[in-house]
Every structure is written in C-alpha cells, then in structure tokens.
Amino acid sequence: MQAQFRPDFEKAGGLITAVTVDAETGEVLMVAYMNPEAFDLTLATGKVHYWSRSRGKLWKKGESSGNMQRLVELRVDCDLDAVVVRAVQEGPACHEGYKSCFFRTVDADGSLRVDAERLKTPEEMYGAPASSTATEGVR
C-alpha cells in the first residue's frame, strides 16, 4: 500500500536520508536510507525498514540481529528529501553492538576514542564473527 504522502525520492536518485533517533531520549541511533518501498512498509507495519546501499536490497531493521525498531513518529524536513525516524529501539541499533552507531568521539587533537559501552558482540547478534570497525582508527 502506498502512503498518502511521499517525500521527494527523485532529488537524490530514489533514496532519502533517514536519521533515526531514540523516541524517548532523542539520541541519534543511526543514519540510513529509505526508498519508496521502505517508507511505505515502515508506515504500514510500524516496523522501520531501510534500503541497504551496500547490499542493494530492502531490509527491516533487526531482521538478522533481532534488534528491531518500532516506529513512533516520522518527521520530514522542509525540502521533503530527508526524514527523522523517532523509534523505540530493541537492543543495539549499531551492527557493532553499541546502542548508537555514533559510539566514537573525535577529540580536539584529532584522536578518535570509543566512549560508549558495547551492549552485545556481533557474534551474539549474528551468530558468526563480523569484521569489526569499532576500534578502527582509535589511538
């Protein structure tokens, strides 16, 4: 079922940016992309769907890891080409096992540090070792 309102998917070649935030705290959990099908399915099911640019396919957040996102509110920007997804996150949002994909901080001297607690390992979420980038570039 097509949603009554549609963002402008054509501006960026069929995709819109989706910034997902924790519905309760406002913390940014992740940034991903939606195509029209992901947008419509998110509204129709209440479960957040995205378009994976790297895999070239639609995916429901948590379909592999079990870490689903339940839609609370969908907000669209003034140009109609980006959305903020307010969601209830079940488990980590990040495939590295952190609550947020933004678990690293760049300090004033340019050094990178992890400043969050890992909630689960990739092995716990996916059943097999994943190539971790969690400490990549960390001094």
Res 134 pLDDT > 80: no
Confidence of residue 25 (pLDDT cuts 50, 70, 90): very high
Coil, helix or strand at residue 46: coil
Residue type, 23: A
Is 51 part of a structural domain of the chain?
A: yes
Is 108 part of a structural domain of the chain?
A: no
Give me the pLDDT at residue 125, please.
Answer: 86
Number of structural domains the chain divides into: 1
Tokens of 75: 């907000």
pLDDT in tens, 30-61: 999 999 999 999 999 999 999 999 999 999 99
CATH number of the domain within which 77 lies: 3.10.20.810
State the residue range of the domain holding 48. Answer: 16-89
Is 11 part of a structural domain of the chain?
A: no
pTM of the model: 0.87
Is 136 part of a structural domain of the chain?
A: no
Q: Are strands 57-60 and 49-52 parallel, antiparallel or unpaired?
A: antiparallel
Residue type, 25: T
Is 72 part of a structural domain of the chain?
A: yes
Tokens of 23: 């519905």
Is 2 part of a structural domain of the chain?
A: no
CA gap 67, 81 in Å, rounded: 26
pLDDT in tens, 110-122: 999 999 999 998 8
The residue ranking higher by pLDDT, 126 or 88, is: 88
Q: Are strands 16-22 and 82-89 parallel, antiparallel or unpaired?
A: parallel
Is 43 part of a structural domain of the chain?
A: yes
Of 12-21, 29-38, 124-133, the poorest mean pLDDT is in: 124-133
Where are any strands of DSSP class E within the chain? 16-22, 28-34, 49-52, 57-60, 69-76, 82-89, 104-106, 112-114
Q: What is the largest CA-CA distance in the chain?
A: 50
On average, the pLDDT of the chain sits at: 92
Is 96 part of a structural domain of the chain?
A: no
